[in-house]
Homo-oligomer: A and B are copies of this chain.
Amino acid sequence: LQSGMFVQVRMMLNELPAADVAHFLESTPPKERDLLWRLINTEREGQVLQFLDDEIRNEYASNMDPAELAAATRDLDIDNQADILGDLPDRIVKEVLASMRVQDRHRIEHALGYPEDSAGGLMNTDVVTVRPLVTIEVVLRYLRMKKELPDNTDSIYVVDSEDKFIGAVKLSSLIISQPEQPVDDVLDKDIQPIPVSLPDDDVARLFERRDLISAPVIDENGKLLGRITIDDVVDVIIEDADHSLMSMAGLDENDDTFAPIVTSAKRRAIWLGINLITVMVAVAVIGVFEDTIKAVTALAILQPIVPSMGGIAGTQTLTLVIRGLSVGHISSINFRWLMLKELGVSVLNGLLWALVVGLSVYLFFSLTNEYSSSAPQLGITIAGAMIINLVVGATLGAVLPMIMTKMKIDPALSGGVVLTTVTDMVGFFSFLGLATLFFA
In the assembly, what is the distance between CA of A151 and CA of B191, in Å?
A: 13
Residues on B with beta carbons closer than 8 Å to the beta carbon of A223:
none
What are 6 A-B pairs at a CB distance below 8 A? A19-B211, A237-B238, A258-B334, A261-B348, A279-B305, A287-B301
A163 at the interface (CB under 8 A from B): no
Give per-residue flags for A38-62: 1 if the beta carbon is below 8 A from chain B beta carbons, else 0: 0000000000000100000000000
Are A308 and B279 interface neighbours, CB within 8 A?
yes
A203 at the interface (CB under 8 A from B): no
Are B329 and A304 interface neighbours, CB within 8 A?
no
A290 nearest in chain B by CB position = B297
In the assembly, what is the distance between CA of A280 and CA of B287, in Å?
A: 23
Binds B, one of A242-250, A373-381, A401-409: A242-250
Q: How many copies does the complex hold?
A: 2
Are B268 and A349 interface neighbours, CB within 8 A?
yes
Residues on B with beta carbons closer than 8 Å to the beta carbon of A290:
297, 301
Are B345 and A265 interface neighbours, CB within 8 A?
yes
CB neighbors of B among A208-229 (8 A): 208-211, 213
Residues on B with beta carbons closer than 8 Å to the beta carbon of A246:
319-320, 323
A316 at the interface (CB under 8 A from B): yes
Residues on B with beta carbons closer than 8 Å to the beta carbon of A210:
17, 19
Give per-residue flags for A227-242: 1 if the beta carbon is below 8 A from chain B beta carbons, else 0: 0001100110110111
A348: min CB distance to chain B, Å: 4
Are B148 and A276 interface neighbours, CB within 8 A?
no
Chain A positions near chain B (C-beta within 8 angstroms) = 17, 19-20, 23, 26-29, 51, 140, 143-144, 146-149, 151-154, 171-172, 174-177, 190, 207-211, 213, 230-231, 234-235, 237-238, 240-242, 244-246, 248-251, 253, 257-258, 261-262, 264-265, 268-269, 271-273, 275-276, 279-280, 282-283, 286-287, 290, 293-294, 297, 299-305, 307-309, 312-313, 315-316, 318-320, 323-324, 327-331, 334, 337-338, 341, 344-345, 348-349, 352-353, 356-357, 424
A139 nearest in chain B by CB position = B175
Which of B153, B242, B316, B334 is close to A28, meaning CB atoms less than 8 Å apart?
Answer: B334
Residues on B with beta carbons closer than 8 Å to the beta carbon of A330:
27, 257
Are B23 and A328 interface neighbours, CB within 8 A?
yes
In the assembly, what is the distance between CA of A327 and CA of B100, in Å?
A: 35
Are A323 and B245 interface neighbours, CB within 8 A?
yes
A370: min CB distance to chain B, Å: 9
Which of B276, B300, B329 is close to A286, meaning CB atoms less than 8 Å apart?
Answer: B300
Are A313 and B272 interface neighbours, CB within 8 A?
yes
In the assembly, what is the distance between CA of A291 and CA of B302, in Å?
A: 15
Residues on B with beta carbons closer than 8 Å to the beta carbon of A318:
249
Are B305 and A27 interface neighbours, CB within 8 A?
no
Interface-central residue, A27, A207, A234, A301, by most chain B CB under 10 Å: A301
In the assembly, what is the distance between CA of A231 and CA of B242, in Å?
A: 20
In the assembly, what is the distance between CA of A211 and CA of B301, in Å?
A: 56
A318 nearest in chain B by CB position = B249
In the assembly, what is the distance between CA of A241 and CA of B144, in Å?
A: 41
Residues on B with beta carbons closer than 8 Å to the beta carbon of A172:
149, 153, 171
Are B20 and A349 interface neighbours, CB within 8 A?
no
A261 nearest in chain B by CB position = B344
Which of B51, B146, B176, B242 is close to A147, meaning CB atoms less than 8 Å apart?
Answer: B176
Residues on B with beta carbons closer than 8 Å to the beta carbon of A213:
152, 154, 213, 230
In the assembly, what is the distance between CA of A331 and CA of B318, in Å?
A: 32
A332: min CB distance to chain B, Å: 12
Residues on B with beta carbons closer than 8 Å to the beta carbon of A250:
312, 316
Other contacts beyond A208-B234, A242-B327, A293-B300: 12, CB < 8 A: A19-B209, A153-B172, A171-B171, A207-B234, A237-B241, A241-B244, A242-B323, A245-B319, A249-B316, A249-B319, A269-B349, A293-B297
A146 nearest in chain B by CB position = B176
A313 nearest in chain B by CB position = B272
In the assembly, what is the distance between CA of A329 and CA of B56, in Å?
A: 14
Are A304 and B282 interface neighbours, CB within 8 A?
yes
In the assembly, what is the distance between CA of A439 and CA of B372, in Å?
A: 28
Are B269 and A352 interface neighbours, CB within 8 A?
yes
Residues on B with beta carbons closer than 8 Å to the beta carbon of A349:
265, 268-269, 272
